[in-house]
Structure 1
Amino acid sequence: MSRRARGLAGLALLLGCGAAFAAAAAEGMPVPDRLAREQGLLVRPVTGAAEDFSRHCQGCHGHHGVSVDEVPSLKDRIGRFVHVPEGRAYLARVPGVAFAHLSDERLAGVLNWALRTYSASELPAGFVPYGAQEVGSLRRDPVNDVGRERAAVVDALVAAGIVADRAALAFGTDRRY
């Protein structure tokens, strides 16, 4: 067999293995731990906006949208913010979002994914997802005083009747807004 033929055969083998691996990954892959494998535990691949969230947001906000007291919870809360224009803007302007190393398109995807994943029932009727152009425009003007701007948004949500009082969105051991 010629060198070229061996190279092509090797490439075909690699491509075949790659296709088989991709198919297995789509269905979930066994965990590389004997006890977990024996129990049939599978790990599903995380892709797209969920992967971006896991890489850029989950460290603080947690896998389930809830973390330590000092970090605002996303679960059952974040959807309330988009009921008022200043809340919608705030979500794209907070430093962790505004300075994320993601394109505007991918960042819009993360915001929409987080809203639908952690707070779908709190979204307004007719919710319009964030777009790349909107996110790009908003993140160019990041929030400077997070506490002050968050309190103003929470006050707007109270005034609009979206939340009963400021305590509904408080966080931290000192119950900040």
Structure 2
Amino acid sequence: MRHLLIVGLACALAAPLAQARSIPDPHQKHAPGNEAPQTPIAQAGYNNATNYQLACAGCHLSNGEGSRANDVPRMQGFVGNFLKVEGGRQFLVRVPGLSMSALNDAQLADMLNWLLRKDGMAGQSMPTQFTPYSAEEIAAIRHDTLLNLPQTRGKLIAAMRAQGIAIEDGMGD
């Protein structure tokens, strides 16, 4: 019994020391390679593929296949269809991962134009006529918050179906 009391007392006295190790040392130096502050993404000058990884791949995956299990539609070979229905062009800019990304308006326009190439993510889903996005267009659209993404997307999908567009977005509906 006496030993249990001594062990318990020792643990109680040691606990503050263990917790003290979790307090950061204000004099600790940065890890090698992290000495300078990071450059904001909007100023980093990354290429479109890197910007896609930063803004889109977290949900749509690196190849644009999406994830039905996570309710994320496929972009690969499908995303261009949004340009074929009224409101679809604006929708693409207003998707939260894009509209709220750290990319500036010009970077976002460049990345969307890159995604929407026939030899890129959009593939054969692209309409025959396409006017590339501009930074000014992105600036005018992106801050108009998309309040109900599934409902808005559903209306656009219905408009695609009405035009006879095959819905192959990986969502099975």
TM-score (norm 2): 0.66
Q: 2:128 maps to which residue? A: 125
Q: Which has the higher helix share?
A: 1
Q: Which has the higher contact order (CA 8 A, sep 6+)?
A: 2
Matched, 1:143 2:173: no
Secondary structure of the 1:100 match is coil
Q: 1:58 maps to which residue? A: 57
Q: 1:74 maps to which residue? A: 75
**In 2, Cα distance between equivalents of 1:68 and 1:90:** 20
Q: Percent identity?
A: 32
Secondary structure of the 1:85 match is coil
Q: Which residue identity does 2:59 align to in structure 1?
A: C
Q: Which residue identity does 1:58 align to in structure 2?
A: A
- Give ranges in structure 1 of 5+ residues lacking alignment: 1-46
**In 2, Cα distance between equivalents of 1:169 and 1:67:** 8
Please tell me whether the aligned partners of residues 66 and 170 of structure 2 are also in contact (alpha carbons under 8 angstroms).
Answer: no
Q: CA deviation at 1:142?
A: 2.0
Q: CA deviation at 1:102?
A: 0.8
Aligned residue pair count:
124
Secondary structure of the 1:73 match is coil
How do residues 1-177 of structure 1 correspond to structure 2 at under 5 angstroms?
47-69=46-68, 70-116=71-117, 117-161=120-164, 163-164=165-166, 168-169=168-169, 171=171, 175=172
**In 1, Cα distance between equivalents of 2:85 and 2:48:** 24
**In 1, Cα distance between equivalents of 2:161 and 2:56:** 27
Please tell me whether the aligned partners of residues 154 and 169 of structure 1 are also in contact (alpha carbons under 8 angstroms).
Answer: no
Q: Which runs of 4+ in 1 moved over 6 A?
A: none
- Give ranges in structure 2 of 5+ residues lacking alignment: 1-45
**In 2, Cα distance between equivalents of 1:67 and 1:150:** 15
TM-score (norm 1): 0.64
Q: Which residue identity does 2:56 align to in structure 1?
A: C
- Choose 1 or 2 for highest CA Rg: 2
